[in-house]
């Protein structure tokens, strides 16, 4: 744990343009992977940060970032962000490190565009109802990089009791966002108080929890 914290501190204070501790940054774009093999995880990261992460942090891993874009390689989460003075900076977080939620801001106007304003399942009564330990679908995307559908509502409607199981297909998810491409369903969910994510390729079975 101490090594992870040292890595994290080094990542955010290195270089002459290091941010002040109390400065917060708007997220412009986020990629996860290597220089040549990476996925656009901007919406996914914004969603995790908007929800407060887990204990105020978002873990950087293949699971939370929706899959492994470069199997066997050392990956990074690269965040392009802008501060209140319109200065831009790139933040790099290594795989298995953590992103502090209070370091970044998700702009409300950008977040609302193209997303449902009611972002909670029908059986969710607000943050005060943390004692609910059943399956909650927080966010789901289907497609390929740059061409995705927000299928959060579809998956919520498919939940039966505290479980979800179906074959990932264009028909089940309301359309084909990338004709001819091998698509992936990325799901962020909470079960028994633990928030996590999973990725399932088209044609395979998704089973939660």
Measure the CA angle with vertex 144, ends 138 and 146; round to 5°: 90
Q: Is 54 exposed, middle or buried (0-12, 13-18, 19+ CB in 10 A)?
A: middle
Tens digit of each residue's pLDDT (9 = 90 or more) over 53-107: 778 888 898 878 877 888 889 999 999 988 887 788 899 999 999 999 989 987 5
Distance, in Å, from the CA atom of 47 to the CA atom of 134, rounded to the nearest integer, reads 20
Residue 118 has pLDDT above 60, yes or no: no
Q: What does the DSSP 8-state code read for residue 134?
A: S
Model confidence, pTM: 0.49
């Amino acid at each position: 744990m101490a090594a992870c914290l040292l890595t994290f501190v080094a990542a955010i204070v290195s270089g002459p343009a290091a941010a002040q501790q109390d400065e917060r940054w708007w997220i412009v774009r986020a990629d996860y992977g290597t220089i040549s093999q990476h996925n656009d995880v901007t919406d996914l990261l914004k969603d995790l940060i908007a929800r407060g992460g887990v204990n105020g942090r978002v873990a950087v891993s293949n699971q939370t970032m929706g899959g492994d874009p470069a199997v066997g390689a050392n990956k990074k989460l690269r965040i392009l962000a802008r501060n209140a003075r319109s200065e831009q900076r790139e933040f790099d977080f290594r795989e298995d490190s953590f992103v502090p939620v209070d370091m970044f801001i998700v702009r409300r106007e950008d977040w609302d565009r193209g997303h449902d304003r009611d972002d909670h399942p029908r059986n969710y009564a607000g943050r005060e109802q943390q004692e609910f330990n059943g399956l909650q679908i927080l966010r789901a995307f289907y497609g390929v990089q740059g061409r995705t559908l927000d299928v959060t509502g579809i998956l919520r409607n498919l939940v039966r009791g505290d479980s979800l199981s179906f074959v990932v297909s264009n028909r089940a998810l309301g359309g084909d966002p990338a004709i001819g491409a091998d698509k992936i369903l990325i799901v962020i969910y909470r079960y028994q108080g633990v928030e996590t994510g999973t990725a399932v390729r088209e044609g395979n079975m998704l089973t939660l929890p």
